[in-house]
Structure 1
Amino acid sequence: MDREIELKFLIAPEASDAILARLGADGAVRRLDATYYDTADHALRRAGFGLRVRDGDGGRKQTLKSASAGGVFARGEWEAPVSGPGPDRDLLDQTPAGRIVNGDVLAPVFAAKVERTLRLVEHAGAVIEAALDRGELQAGTDRAAVNELELELKTGEPAALFDLARDLMAHAPLRLSLVSKAERGYALALGEAPGARREAAVLTRAMTAAEAFQALGNTALGRLCVAAEALVDLPGPEALHNLRVAARRLRALLKLFRPVTGRLAARPASDALKVMADALGPARDLDVYIAGTWRPAVEADPQPVEGLGALGKALVEAQQAAYARALDAAAPGRFGLLALDIAAWLEAGDWLADPERAEVRGSSAKAFAADRLKALSKDVLKRGEHLEALDAEARHRLRIRGKGLRYAIDALATLFPDHPRRLERWSDAARDLQDALGGLNDQALGAGLAREAALVDGDPQAAYAAGALSAAPEATHKLMREAKAALAQMRDLKPFW
């Protein structure tokens, strides 16, 4: 098995010339036609593998790639020449995929028809192969364009790879993508959005805490990139919500593994993610308020208050402005650099060589996870002891801790397979607590944004309607009861860790 470290970027077709000019030097142009194979139930895909047979200048080759091989952007690769048009089963049996296929029939799923322009670049003491691919994916009668740049480290330090990427990003819009051609091809064949079924990281008890963090970070960053791409391509409430959740989950992951990386080391990435999440917040809060409060009031017969039409006009104007800020945060020029910086830090950051944290980095992922889950659950239960007496700020802090606990349970679950029922109950209770406290938070934020929108609009009827709709004590009492019930359930649960 070879271990490759590579970065993949989506590019606009018109950016190709600028990228090639910046890379300099002459290179080869190759025609690469590949067919990807899997079992009828897509066992290889579910296990994180992509199997292709490709015809190119070097002849026909069979390649198996794994989703990860240790680092954030490292993948396992098994490649060998083949003679037939389909996969060589004997060669496949010599790889980890052999036991997954287990004799099942392999059939074509999709094909990739690509023209590849190659450049070999020397940069900061490293040798990097740049491959610019233009072509299409084909699945039956469906087609999807391919316009990608891949940078693969041949020799040298990973930091040079990221440095070259930053240089190119300054001259052309690049969108970091952790979705492979195989994933995009499967999505095309199955009618899915690219990256929509990106699998969660599977942690093993053999992993160290640092390895677990990198595996989880890879998955979280991949979802962040997919969500940003989706929002830019098709703005809307669902895409906005997915990006905001992806940013929060990655930020929560940084906090969860702070003992591994150090607070100061993780701060730049955490702060950048907070800035982005804050830019998305008003649009999301307005979406929730419009759908959950304003629209039901408009559709009620009779309408509960006057001025709902005027308030609706003010809300739409505020929503449009908020979406403009959200799209700016997700735009390739801004988001691309943020994602690349986080990627570089995950793969080659100084935290990996900090001598003061060597012991915790090398500690058992399972032991580390158990300690963190114990501490988080204890903190949440202590803060929630007198929920009704908490002021808004204290309740907000409890909500943040509860969300962190839920995300930690989701991320670390595969390390604890021995008590699935306990794990399920903890996950349900953490979700219920987050939903209830999140609902209370949405009430407060939505009402505030509605009043602000009405004031900006200047229509007194809109202001009256915003104030009248804010008064919903029965909804507040219901959410408070649900939060208390979730906390009570947690207190009775046995640890799954």
Structure 2
Amino acid sequence: MVIQTELCLSLTPGVANRLARHPLLSDATAVRERIVDLCYDTPDLRLRREQVLVLCRKIGARCLASVSRAVLTDFAAPKCACPAHWEIAREAGEPARFDFSPVTERRLRQWLQSLHADLQVTFTTSFTRNAWLLRPHEGVRIELMLDRGWIICLGRRQALCEIGLKLVSGSPKDLFSLASELQTDFSLHPEAIARVERSYRVLADESLPAVKSSPVRIDAGTSATVYFRRIALACLRHLQSNEQGLRQGDDPEFVHQARAAIRRLRSAIRIWRPLLPKDFVSRFDPRWRTLAEQLAEARHWEVFLTATLPTIAADLPEGVASARLANYAQRRSVINREAVRSTLQSDDYSRLLLGFTAAVLALPERDAACLEARARALLDTSAAESGRLAAQLLAGDDSAADRLRAAYKRLRYALEFFAPMFADQSRRDGRVAANGLPELLARLNELARAVHLTEEALPGEPGEAIRDGLERRRKALLAELRAGSST
């Protein structure tokens, strides 16, 4: 079982100024330290690519050097009790000389020794830390660290203001309980990107990329609950990896990826529903659905504005109606994007992330047989449903198109989740996607939605000609789909 021992939460400087007056800290004595972290890498950043950190931490007159592996993690990837971490020795002066002999992984130690001459300070993190040892309950001790300072790289700086909570004794439930109590009084947000990775981005002056989902590992004998936990936390990573881009930029891909993350998460909840506690499903699924609907509204208007309108421009009659439609779509796109930003900056969203993670980590264990039986039944049922709806569509039932597209998405996510377990069935059912039908259905869905959005933008007679043109395109695509299936 994954054991969460640390949490990182960002906050504003104004909120940080009030933290020391919180009742939870009233009986604790603050320890104040000035800390400077020097991160070393090669000029071509080979350590970053291999997710290895060589760090020199200066605390007053003390200097502590260390090597860590796989440090570029985020909030949803729990920091466990036994990370790959080694304390090493460092000689004073520059260029620095490190003694890598304490690194017990032989290949890593030899690799670091071969790079020794190329190591240089890549970035500096300079901050003041106020730390309190809290005892919220008998037998529970949690260290709270408030870090305020700067990430400094090549003259560029990024402000740092965040809380770290470290479980010293007690259970992970105690850690999340304390975080939730603090969140009640302060605007705290689970930090999505590790401090090291943020520093590297400042160094490179990188723009944030939209992040796609990553495969989830499954081992022989993995229990149903453990696998659901891995998928759910991976979906959170997917979502949070895109939230900063959503808040700060206008690239539609961030909306698309955030929506896909929640869609995958809700599909997993649906698949595992018979094995999940009822109160878990009833508590969280409606909240994820609300956020998914808001992202969907933003995505629909962005697709309409950036993809649908340009492709049908030749069919749109020139004149006032066309200009009104484009202007309305532009306004709605901006309004919906601002609504999403407001939601992602809200305390409710931060509480949802923290509460959902705590609930996922606390789920009771289930056996592996339940997972395999559920997976096989779901794949068979989903494939049969898709086949039935495809037959209805090809037989002339136009209304089956949207239901078939939704069924294909559910089947696709299920195949992704369970592909390592049933390779033969996954290859067989994967041919569904290879025939191009999902792409045609997506285009049909866009055209059907475009008719609806045009009705909203230009109700009645003003938009009639435009809607007629969109409907002709939709029917032509349906005819193309059926003709292709009959050959």
TM-score between both structures, scaled by the size of structure 1: 0.79
How far residue 159 of structure 1 moved from its aligned partner, in angstroms, is: 1.9
SS in 1 for 2:445: helix
Measured after TM superposition, the shift of residue 271 of structure 1 is 1.8
RMSD: 4.0
Partners of 1:222 and 1:399 lie apart in 2 by 26
Aligned residues of 1:128 and 1:154 also touching (Cα < 8 A): yes
Give the partner amino acid of 1:327. Answer: R
Contact 2:142/2:175 (CA < 8 Å) preserved in 1? yes
Amino acid in the other structure paired with 1:444: A
Q: Matches of 1:346 and 1:121 in 2, distance apart?
A: 25
CA deviation map 1:419-450 (0-9, x unaligned): 8xx85993882694443323222222232122
Partner in structure 1 of residue 136 of structure 2:
123
Alignment of 1:413-428 (within 5 A): 426=430
Q: Deviations over 1:71-123 (max 9, x none)?
A: 9523342444432145542222x149828947652634433222222122222
1:307 is aligned to 2:315? no
Q: What is the aligned partner in structure 2 of residue 385 from structure 1?
A: 391
Segment of structure 1 superposing worse, 24-33 or 254-263: 254-263
Structure 1 gap ranges (5+): 490-497
Cα separation, 1, equivalents of 2:127 and 2:209: 20
Task: Summarize the Cα distance change of 1:467–1:9 in structure 2 as closer, same or farther, 3 Å threshold.
Answer: same
Residue correspondence of structure 1 range 203-282 to structure 2 within 5 A: 203-206=217-220, 207-261=222-276, 265-282=280-297
| Higher deviation after alignment, 23-32 or 79-88 | 79-88
Farther-moved stretch of structure 1 (245-254 vs 79-88): 79-88
Cα separation, 2, equivalents of 1:271 and 1:444 = 26
Residue type of the alignment partner of 2:79: A
- Report how many aligned residue pairs link the two structures: 469
Aligned to 2:57: 54
Q: Identify the residue that residue 35 of structure 1 maps to in structure 2.
A: 38
| Partner SS state of residue 458, structure 2 | helix
Moved more, 224-233 or 311-320: 311-320
The correspondence for 1:89, drawn from 94, 97, 100, is 100
CA shift, 1:225, in A, is 1.9
Q: Residues 195 and 282 of structure 1: is their aligned pair in 2 closer, same or farther, counting only changes over 3 Å?
A: closer
- Deviation of the 1:276 alpha carbon: 0.5
| 1:9 lines up with 2:21 in the alignment | no
- Give the letter for the 2:477 counterpart: K
In structure 2, distance between residues paired with 1:161 and 1:307: 58
Report percent identity of matched pairs. Answer: 22
Contact 1:436–1:480 (Cα < 8 Å) also in 2: no
Read off the aligned partner of 1:132 and give its amino acid letter: L
Task: Note the C-alpha offset of 1:221.
Answer: 0.4
Residue pair 2:101, 2:109 contacting (<8 A) in 1 also: no
1:11-410 equivalences under 5 Å are 11-22=11-22, 23-24=24-25, 25-37=28-40, 45=48, 49-56=52-59, 59-66=63-70, 72-75=77-80, 76-84=82-90, 85=96, 87-92=98-103, 94-95=104-105, 98=108, 101=111, 104-105=114-115, 107-108=119-120, 109-125=122-138, 126-193=140-207, 200=214, 202-206=216-220, 207-261=222-276, 265-297=280-312, 300=314, 303=317, 307-348=321-362, 351-352=363-364, 358-359=366-367, 362-363=368-369, 372-389=378-395, 391=397, 394-410=400-416
Q: Offset at 1:285?
A: 0.9
Worse-matched range after superposition: 405-414 or 142-151 = 405-414
Change (3 A) 1:63 1:278: same
Q: 1:161 to 1:42 in 2, by over 3 A?
A: same
Alpha-carbon offset, residue 452 of structure 1: 1.3
C-alpha distance in 2 between matches for 1:139 and 1:439: 45
Measured at CA, do residues 103 and 429 of structure 1 come closer, stay the same or move farther in structure 2, by a change above 3 Å? farther
Say if 1:44 and 1:101, in contact at 8 Å, map to a contact too. no
CA distance in 1 between partners of 2:409 and 2:290 (Å): 18
Shift of 1:238: 2.9
Normalised TM-score (structure 2) = 0.80
Q: After the TM superposition, list the runs of 4 or more consecutive aligned residues in structure 1 that deviate by more than 6 angstroms.
A: 364-368
> Following the alignment from structure 1 to structure 2, what is the Cα–Cα distance between the partners of residues 216 and 117?
35
Which amino acid in the other structure matches residue 230 of structure 1? G
Counterpart CA distance in 1 for 2:269 and 2:261 is 13
Long gaps (5+) in structure 2: 91-95
Deviation of 1:62 after TM superposition, in Å, equals 0.8
Which entry has the higher C-alpha Rg, 1 or 2?
A: 2
